[in-house]
A and B are shown apart, each in its own frame.
Chain A
Amino acid sequence: AQSVTQLDSQVPVFEEAPVELRCNYSSSVSVYLFWYVQYPNQGLQLLLKYLSGSTLVKGINGFEAEFNKSQTSFHLRKPSVHISDTAEYFCAVSRLNTGKLIFGQGTTLQVKP
């Protein structure tokens, strides 16, 4: 079975500061990794995904994530956040050849002016 742990339930940060949202996963088989974002009163939207290849993945809105197999981590980063980045962020995994997503508990990013 797979599981995902998002280490911080809430991350407050000031505008234009860098941010890292942490995600660790557990799986006995190879997995794909995803970050989804849920803006207030909106649906889930894919930020980025890692399937294979380069371990540094770039997504929308200036976000990037790095897959670290030895540490089973997939942390999300942004060098300078905006107020509009305030949202809930979900890390997820899926086994190869299946689309079923297993989500972490989510991290609320609160960007303050």
Chain B
Amino acid sequence: GAGVSQSPSNKVTEKGKDVELRCDPISGHTALYWYRQSLGQGLEFLIYFQGNSAPDKSGLPSDRFSAERTGGSVSTLTIQRTQQEDSAVYLCASSLVLAGGGGEQFFGPGTRLTVL
């Protein structure tokens, strides 16, 4: 079956512009995660959606970052007024929710964001 898909695969933008990154999770997966992978910071958790619960936004680096998940499926990560330090690969993952946690997360190929 189809895995996690992300679009666009690459995005180049100018400093100060807003960008939207899209994630389509695996059908039936109720948990969705966003991470960021950069040379300086490694892999960082950003935000986590689980079903109808309030999202865990504890990893968002600033209020310029926001995310939503519509209809329990597709998610959009929005970065406003982009800065050069936002340049990174943004990864989306989805999983089933197991009682007690520990479900395998399936990762998408990522969106490479370059802020000029």
Are A99 and B48 in touch, CB under 8 angstroms?
Answer: yes
Q: Is A94 an interface residue (CB 8 A)?
A: yes
Q: Point out the residue from A95, A99, A104, A106 that lies within 8 Å of B33, measured CB to CB.
A: A99
Q: Is B91 an interface residue (CB 8 A)?
A: yes
The count of A-to-B residue pairs whose CB atoms sit within 8 angstroms is 62
Residues of A in contact, count (CB < 8 Å): 24
Task: Report the interface size class on chain B.
Answer: 20 to 34
User: Shortest CB–CB separation between residue A43 and chain B, in angstroms?
Assistant: 5
Chain B hits for A101, CB < 8 A:
33, 35, 43, 45, 105
Determine the distance from Cα of A14 to Cα of B16 in the docked complex, in whole angstroms. 47
Are B101 and A95 in touch, CB under 8 angstroms?
Answer: yes
Are B104 and A100 in touch, CB under 8 angstroms?
Answer: no
Encoded as 1 (CB less than 8 Å from any B CB) or 0, chain A from 5 to 22 comes to 000000000000000000
User: Shortest CB–CB separation between residue B102 and chain A, in angstroms?
Assistant: 4
User: Shortest CB–CB separation between residue A102 and chain B, in angstroms?
Assistant: 7
Closest to A103 in B: B43
Known contacts A43-B108, A101-B33; is A90 also within 8 Å of B43 by CB?
yes
User: Shortest CB–CB separation between residue B72 and chain A, in angstroms?
Assistant: 15
User: Shortest CB–CB separation between residue A67 and chain B, in angstroms?
Assistant: 13
Determine the distance from Cα of A101 to Cα of B105 in the docked complex, in whole angstroms. 9
User: Shortest CB–CB separation between residue B92 and chain A, in angstroms?
Assistant: 10
Q: Point out the residue from A49, A90, A102, A104 that lies within 8 Å of B104, measured CB to CB.
A: A49
Determine the distance from Cα of A36 to Cα of B33 in the docked complex, in whole angstroms. 15
Q: Is B77 an interface residue (CB 8 A)?
A: no
Interface residues of A (CB under 8 A from B): 32, 36, 42-46, 49, 51, 90, 92, 94-106
